Structure 1
Amino acid sequence: MNILALSLQFFACAAVIGAAGFVLSRSADRLAGMLGWGRGWVGLALLATVTSLPELAAGISAVVVVDAPNLAVGNALGACVANLAFLVIIDAVQRHQPIYRAAGPTQLLSAGFSVVMLGFVALSLVVGRNNPALLHVGLYSPLLLGFYLLALRSVHAHERDLLRALTSSGAAPEPVDQQMLRREWRRFGLAAVAVVGAGIWLPEAADQLAQALGLSRSFVGTIFLALATTLPEMAVTLSALRIGALDMAIGNLLGSNLFNVLILAIDDLFYVRGPLLADASAAHGGTAVAAMLMSGLVIIGLVMRPQGRVLRVTSWISIGLVAAYAINLAVIYLAAA
């Protein structure tokens, strides 16, 4: 398939994802209002899971069909870095103030859990073939699953307590129209199918383009495939911003990072030749550290809530995110050279 055909395939997928992403965000926002869920948790649990399914499909395909552990690991970790870098665009779009001033405190939990989970991944990549394993699965996989479930529970409980504190003690909750609720779930489901279907189609073009250009799979997984599979997150995040759901937009990106790290545990289950991270290149450790560094910057921004902008364009937190992303690109390119 030539470059033109691959480009047409990519833009067709992008158009479908963009349109379906807007519907997905509006439905998620309405469901949050009907069910009394916090927008941050909806972004973390609902939107992040749906938009990260292309990364899951690409990772399983990489280890089962292609037998390319570097492609799977590079895709998952590269998607984490790409999601955090996309916060820079959100920050620039929010012209009235930096996003960190308006974001809810729940986002601190998501970013904190992602640092912990990425830390386990970085350590496992450093240990390499000395990773302890149960059968063919590394012991880091059940730890990643446990932290992911704990993150979902913690964010949900935190936002539930916040919503209770904001609700007047004497106010009774309004009854939910069950027919409208079912209709909204159907709309959400159809939009999710469209996003996932187009998102799964994207990696094929990225992989074929990489083969045509003669690039290594570590580089392709971290850059091309990661950018392709994070397109659903970007489309849904921008759609959430259009309806004024900033917490849902940020929660989608940070929640996608948690799910992307969990994908490594799922890929590990399908990779039967031993622990996945034991066979992956140590160069991916640099990407994991870059994602931890960028998550740390996000945490600093959420705590300090910077008000000023550099050259009236973006916050200094975003400048740091761009620098960390550029350094990671250079490191992974030099390692693959």
Structure 2
Amino acid sequence: MSLALLWTQFLAAALLILFAAPRLTRNAEIIAARRNISDNWIGLILLASVTSLPELAAGISSVSAADAPDIAVGAVFGSCVFNLAMLVVLDFAVRGESVYRQARQAHILSAGFGTMLIGIAGLTLMVRDLGLTLAIGHVGATSLVIALVYIVATRAIHNYEARIRERAGEEVTKAPSRSLQTAQAMFAIAAFAIILGGLWLPVVGARIADQTFLDRSIMGTIFIAAATSLPELSVSLAALRLGSVNMAIANLLGSNLFNILILAIEDAVYTAGPLLNTASNIHAVTAMAAVIMCGVVIAGLLYRPKTRLFKMVGWTSIALFSIYILNVYLIFFTMR
């Protein structure tokens, strides 16, 4: 198959994901509103989970049909840094105060748990050559720890959000006119389209990598990670248009939590051994970049800077963008 045709298929799969994402978002919002859930919780758990379906589908396809564990791991860590870099887009998109001043400081909790999960996975990549990793069958012990921390994180964030709403006396989003049954049906169709695109991306990506100078780690970390993160970008921008900065940020930070959980799911599917023991340890560079970016986000949410460069973007966003570009450069430089 020609390289041009492969890139055409890659673009088609990415466009399918981009087309389905807004429909998934709208119907997820309707379902959550009908079930009396707050906008923050919609963004953090419901939207973050469903917009991470491409990463999940692409990851399962990578470790099964494509037999490309480096693409699977690279796509997860690459999606994490890409999601954090998208905060720069949100900062450009909002008017007036910086997005970090408009957002609630409650997002620090989800950013903190994201730092923990990414750090756990990254540390496993760094120490595995020392023989310090454990496994239960073909599943690494790290995957079990990740699953446990994810459960604790979602529970803690849910309880914290509930206390915040109770003290503030907030009301949840009003239910729209569309019925719950219609929203669920349209949600399922959009989710199927996203899964289909996500399953095909790594197969085509592996073939592109094999026919070009691109390493599979680079293909997963940069190209597939960006393509599978299109729903998060679409959803967050849609949330901004609805006037919900908090939903937009919660979607991105919540997606990072779910992305690391995907590593544990991929590890269970990958029967050749613990996934993080098989993938290249170059992914630890991206993991550490994501950890640093989480730290920058936490500092920005806590400090809430007023200054914006040219009244367009804050220094927090400039730092995030700089770290993202540095990570891309290091990946390419290492794989030359």
CA distance in 2: counterparts of 1:179 and 1:287, whole angstroms: 42
Is the CA contact 1:41–1:156 (under 8 Å) kept in the aligned structure 2? yes
Tell me by how many angstroms 1:176 deviates.
7.5
* 1:225 maps to 2:224: yes
Tell me by how many angstroms 1:135 deviates.
1.6
CA distance in 1: counterparts of 2:248 and 2:63, whole angstroms: 31
Letter in 2 for 1:180: S
Tell me by how many angstroms 1:226 deviates.
1.0
Is the CA contact 1:207–1:225 (under 8 Å) kept in the aligned structure 2? no
Aligned pair partner of 1:161 in 160, 163, 171: 163
Query: What is aligned with 1:216?
Result: 215
Query: What is aligned with 1:288?
Result: 287
1:239-250 correspondence to structure 2 within 5 Å: 239-250=238-249
Residues matched between the structures, number: 334
1:162-184, Cα deviation, whole Å (9 max, x unpaired): 2222338xx9x999799833333
Tell me by how many angstroms 1:285 deviates.
0.9
Cα 1:110–1:175 change in 2 (3 A) is closer
1:156-235 correspondence to structure 2 within 5 Å: 156-167=158-169, 180-235=179-234
Tell me by how many angstroms 1:185 deviates.
2.9
CA distance in 1: counterparts of 2:173 and 2:161, whole angstroms: 19
CA distance in 2: counterparts of 1:174 and 1:297, whole angstroms: 30
CA distance in 1: counterparts of 2:61 and 2:15, whole angstroms: 24
Is the CA contact 1:199–1:231 (under 8 Å) kept in the aligned structure 2? no
Tell me by how many angstroms 1:268 deviates.
1.3
Query: What is aligned with 1:86?
Result: 86
Cα 1:243–1:195 change in 2 (3 A) is farther
* Identity within the alignment, %: 43
Cα 1:243–1:11 change in 2 (3 A) is farther
Is the CA contact 2:58–2:200 (under 8 Å) kept in the aligned structure 1? no
Query: Residue 244 of structure 1 aligns to a residue in which SS?
Result: coil
1:1-337 correspondence to structure 2 within 5 Å: 1-129=1-129, 130=131, 131-167=133-169, 180-337=179-336
CA distance in 1: counterparts of 2:254 and 2:174, whole angstroms: 30
CA distance in 1: counterparts of 2:280 and 2:117, whole angstroms: 19
Is the CA contact 1:125–1:277 (under 8 Å) kept in the aligned structure 2? yes
Q: TM-score, normalization: structure 2?
A: 0.90
Is the CA contact 1:200–1:229 (under 8 Å) kept in the aligned structure 2? no
1:90-136, Cα deviation, whole Å (9 max, x unpaired): 11011222111111233211110010011111210111142111122
Cα 1:248–1:6 change in 2 (3 A) is farther
Letter in 1 for 2:263: L
Is the CA contact 1:51–1:196 (under 8 Å) kept in the aligned structure 2? no
List runs of 5+ in structure 2 lacking aligned partners. Answer: none
1:14-64, Cα deviation, whole Å (9 max, x unpaired): 544344322332333334433332222211211111111221222222222
Is the CA contact 1:105–1:302 (under 8 Å) kept in the aligned structure 2? yes
1:131-180, Cα deviation, whole Å (9 max, x unpaired): 11112211111110011111111121122222222338xx9x99979983
Is the CA contact 1:26–1:243 (under 8 Å) kept in the aligned structure 2? no
Tell me by how many angstroms 1:202 deviates.
3.4
Once the two structures are overlaid, the 10-residue window that deviates more, 203-212 or 42-51, is: 203-212
Is the CA contact 1:40–1:106 (under 8 Å) kept in the aligned structure 2? no
Tell me by how many angstroms 1:6 deviates.
4.2
Query: Residue 267 of structure 1 aligns to a residue in which SS?
Result: helix
Letter in 2 for 1:93: A
Is the CA contact 2:75–2:224 (under 8 Å) kept in the aligned structure 1? yes
Tell me by how many angstroms 1:192 deviates.
2.6
CA distance in 1: counterparts of 2:226 and 2:176, whole angstroms: 39
List runs of 5+ in structure 1 lacking aligned partners. Answer: none
